[in-house]
Amino acid sequence: MARLTTDRVPRLDIRASQRRCPLEPGWVIPIHGLTSDRWSAVIEATHDRQLVCTATHTFGRFETATTIDIVWTLCRLGGVRPWWRCPACGRRAAVIYFARVPACRICHRLKYRTQKLNETDRALRKARRLRRRLGGPPYPSQP
């Protein structure tokens, strides 16, 4: 069986959410991916004023909820950066994936699409990128 890649699984990206607006209680975070319509996520404040995300999975008439903690790290030049705390292993992660349960890429053993390319495909991809950077079309008109 072929392993899933990160672009085929619903995901919750804290970097994209933080760029749009600051994380605040009551804010609904979009989940992107193929079956993302079954998942919803809302930022909530706990009794000790910490932020958590509650991800809810709806399948038919059944509904399960998982709490995903938000942790903060200090940035080198000031400010703070938010991270998800993986519910499965406890690692910090910028993206949580929803394959079977919410977890980080490592817990789900997901690969990036580019990690599955063979040597020829990597060389073609590199040539296309170089052509685009030089202002030409990604594919040559003649071989």
Residue 1: is its pLDDT beyond 70?
Answer: no
> Could you give the percent of the chain with pLDDT greater than 70?
88
Cβ proximity of 9 and 98 under 8 Å: yes
**Closest C-alpha to 98, from 114, 86, 113:** 86
**Closest C-alpha to 57, from 85, 32, 36, 33:** 36
- What are 89-124's pLDDT values in tens digits? 999 999 999 887 889 999 999 988 778 788 888 888
- What are 30-49's pLDDT values in tens digits? 777 666 567 778 877 776 66
pTM value is 0.73
Helix (DSSP H) and strand (DSSP E) numbers for the chain: 3, 9
